Amino acid sequence: MDTPFLSSINISATHLTIIGKAEASVIQTRKRICYRTAIQDDAMEAAAILIPASPSGTEDGQESLHSSTPASKATMATSANDTPEDTAKYLTRVSSDFIHAINRRDFAAAESMEYLIDHSRFTARLTDFPIDHSYQEHVDRYKFVYSQAPDVFLHVGETSVDLDERKGTASVYINVNAAGQPGGVATQGVSLLEWRRTSQDGKETWLCVKHTAVKGLQDIV
């Protein structure tokens, strides 16, 4: 089936980075700057900047369980001099840090990232599970999932960022392949982390307000 696996949740196919050869560029309007992946094989104009996955591969192409170091509180604030590219890379890194911590089963590291969360409004949802209404509940959800399926591993793919500087909002899309599930099922999906810019102690800070993890196509491997 050729239908993009993200189409069911109305995410533009331009966010897919699993087909063809990607090309990076930037387009700016009066209100927003969009960072999306452009696929050369498709007949569409490049309107994106590709943010590559964090270097984490091993010789066989598999991510290391120790491939990421979570951001410290000292790096959570953004400078007024930061370019949109700086902000996009920062949000990509901290979003990926969460996935890598979950992959390592380092739930203490995941919990320590709570300073990146807007606890007053945060919600999260994993496919087939109820909505989580707190960050701790969300981490506990992953603990439960891995207790039932201890061999699951999330292969992090390419990432795109939709950044609206005027509104102070950003969406980080992370392509994910989940392997090691019961029955030999492998699924493709996307993690969408939504961020809002706020001010703390006179410094601009980006806080995560929502995480949605959606499954797509699946194969028996």
| Span 87-141, pLDDT tens digits | 999 999 999 999 999 999 999 999 999 999 999 999 999 988 999 999 999 999 9
- Tell me the Cα Rg of the chain: 17
Q: Which CATH number fits domain 54-220: 3.40.50.2300, 3.40.50.2000, 3.10.450.50, 3.40.50.720?
A: 3.10.450.50
Calculate ∠ Cα 191-216-197, nearest 5°. Answer: 20
pLDDT of amino acid 147 = 93
> Is the pTM of the predicted complex or chain greater than 0.75?
no
Per-residue confidence (pLDDT) for residue 128, from 0 to 100 = 83
pLDDT at position 106, please? 96
Element (H, E) at 219: strand 203-220
